[in-house]
Amino acid sequence: MSPAAKASISRHFAQGAEVVDGGVHFRVWAPRLRKVSVVNHSTGDVYALLPEEHGYWSVMVPGMGSGARYQYRLDDDTEGLPDPASRSLPDGPHGVSEVVDPRDFTWNDLAWTGLSLKNEVIYEMHVGTFTSEATWSAASSKLPALKELGITVVEMMPVAEFPGRFGWGYDGVAWFAPSHLYGTPDDLRRFVDQAHGLGLGVILDVVYNHLGPDGNYLHRFSPYYLSDRPNDWGRSLNYDGEHSAAVRQLVVDNAVHWIDEYHLDGLRLDATQHILDDSSEHILAVLGRETRAAAGGRRLLLIAENERQESRLLHATDLGGMGLDAMWNDDFHHSAAVALTGRRQAYYGDYCGTANEWLATARHGFLFQGQRSAWQKHPRGHSARGLPAAAFVAFLENHDQIANSLWSARLWRQSSAGCQRAMTALLLLGPWTPLLFQGQEWNATTPFHFFADHHPELAKLVLSGRMEFMSQFPGCASEAARDLMPDPACDDTYASSKLCWEERATPQHRRTLQLHQDLLTIRREDPTIRAQAASGVALEVAALNSSCGLLRYFVDGGASESHAQDRLLIVNLGADLDIPSPSEPLLSHPQSSGHSSWRILWSSEDPRYGGYGCSEPESADTGWHIPGFAAVLLKALPVI
């Protein structure tokens, strides 16, 4: 790492409180108002802002500095309101704003160059449940464990200020202010700085499709922030209507703010199908261009969640795309979950969980690329041809999918141990970019419930909405099931979702942790697995039956040494399989002369992981014996 240095801020934003020489400059967008003033809570002084073009107001207040508390007053109203672009709300979204000078923090990561799409492993975490303390400081102490595991990127669920004592963060209302629940803005910077010091990137989940219903004061400043078009959470943001230029600027400034002032390495963009924009240049394309420019050569990772699987988000902007890097792949999760649990309720009904199906995600990325979805009753998805395999983020667990069950149970509780180990091997050795959800690496016993602390009236609406959403699963639609459903506003619902790090030391969980660590070591160090989907390595797949699939990594080249670098991953979610006459070409030996054999490089049945041991699957006398409910990774060894 280079010597420590003060933060270098690349730009000022259209709105907010900026520390400048001699004081603080305030600027806010409030069209249609007659007057705007700012109150210095330290002195009680009130300063009138002067009108600018396009509905902005501004004033320079001498003598103020970092740490000063302030609020805005609109027209003749004596009620103070927080700054829509406040960098800190130390008492929450209903309280006063605090001036923050990001240049006060001393960074140690100036040699950090960012992330690449290839060979990344993502770890999704919720700061409020990642540790019992629920702070960035406590989370920082766990970063070495993530590094040792083999993680390269930490993805934080949203941290923008939201109301209440706990929540997922998707109802944020003050985009520029990190939640006071988790610490100070500098605590977040310190978390990122320490991660970079360990070689870990940090990206942030951001929500630009809606605003939370409580603590949102934007409408008091302007009626133009929201459009009349509805989405799943209410009204969409105004990206393309009257006065939308200032709304677009606020979103872009916010994205840049996370990259510039917090040195974040990218963003995960929530539910982009609900970012409705018919402008000549979509807001996501603008956001991508501006954040990369703000990074100043540091490589960013911009990931979309998009239920419609609109692959154009990943195409280059000069080809009509949005220029993003990767997209979550729900298809892999849903197919794998059906294979592991056997349940096909609600949206899982579009999937059968067969080997052909989950192998197709390895070969093609998305399963639905325009075919009709029986669940949605209309075509779903778009062609993914030409996109790199690493552009698809695959997962067996994430915050949504764990919570979308009656008990918010982890997948290991719903599957056999052998099958879960085998599918974990597919996840961590496959060609995509794998994602783990916090605690998955040791089979955490804690659930991950949906929780949100709101005032009583809103809490009732949230609970009702949650029950309505969960009723799509027949098992959750009964009156008895509804009575058992955890109340999102209950303290115990939140507290029970916190990880118990101490359980990692117990034998059962230590074995699962070793499984994940060993697989990620192979992904990182085995030359063929590491180079999969790159030039010189070709991936082919085949199903031996409905439960057993093969992934063959072919290493190009004429020399026998290159052929010997081929790898064969066999994933069998069914019973033992005997093949006396192996007619499947992917089982053939790498060398054309046949003077070689397959040998186990890794097996999910290793007793260290809780397995029962595994013999070599290939025999010259009996053909192949593939163990049931297991995965094996094979390498080719020449016979001397």
What 3-state class would DSSP assign to 5?
strand
Tracing tokens 């309280």 back to the chain, one arrives at 95
Nearest to 244 by CA among 234, 252, 255, 232: 252
Helices and strands (H, E) in the chain, number of each type = 17, 32
Note whether 548 and 519 are within 8 A (CB).
Answer: no
Among the listed residues 83, 161, 253, 270, the single catalytic one is 270
Note whether 496 and 449 are within 8 A (CB).
Answer: yes
Note whether 601 and 635 are within 8 A (CB).
Answer: yes
Give the up-direction half-sphere exposure of residue 595: CA atoms within 13 A in the CB hemisphere. 5
The bridge status of strand 5-6 relative to strand 106-107 is: antiparallel
Which strand (E) or helix (H) includes residue 46?
A: strand 46-48
Among the listed residues 83, 98, 305, 350, the single catalytic one is 305
Phi-psi domain of 336 (left: phi exceeds 0; alpha: psi -120 through 50; beta: other):
alpha
Backbone angles phi, psi at 577, to 5 degrees: -125, 120
Is the dihedral angle over the CA atoms 164, 165, 170, 176 positive or is it negative?
positive
- CA dist., res. 110 & res. 112, Å (int): 5
Nearest to 259 by CA among 238, 235, 287: 287
Q: Tell me the residue type at 505.
A: A
Beta-carbon contacts of 190 under 8 Å, excluding residues fewer than 6 positions away, are: 105, 136, 137, 140
Backbone angles phi, psi at 263, to 5 degrees: 55, 30
Cα diameter, the chain: 92
Note whether 307 and 319 are within 8 A (CB).
Answer: no
Q: Tell me the residue type at 118.
A: K
Beta-carbon contacts of 246 under 8 Å, excluding residues fewer than 6 positions away, are: 14, 29, 31, 54, 55, 56, 222, 224
Report the DSSP beta bridge partners of residue 552. Answer: 540, 568
Which strand (E) or helix (H) includes residue 618?
A: strand 618-619
- CA dist., res. 16 & res. 88, Å (int): 11
- CA dist., res. 17 & res. 185, Å (int): 15
3-state helix, strand, coil in the chain (%, to 5): 30, 25, 45
Which strand (E) or helix (H) includes residue 355?
A: helix 355-364
Is 305 catalytic? The answer is yes
**Neighbouring C-beta atoms of residue 5, cutoff 10 Å:** 11
Show which residues are catalytic: 270, 305
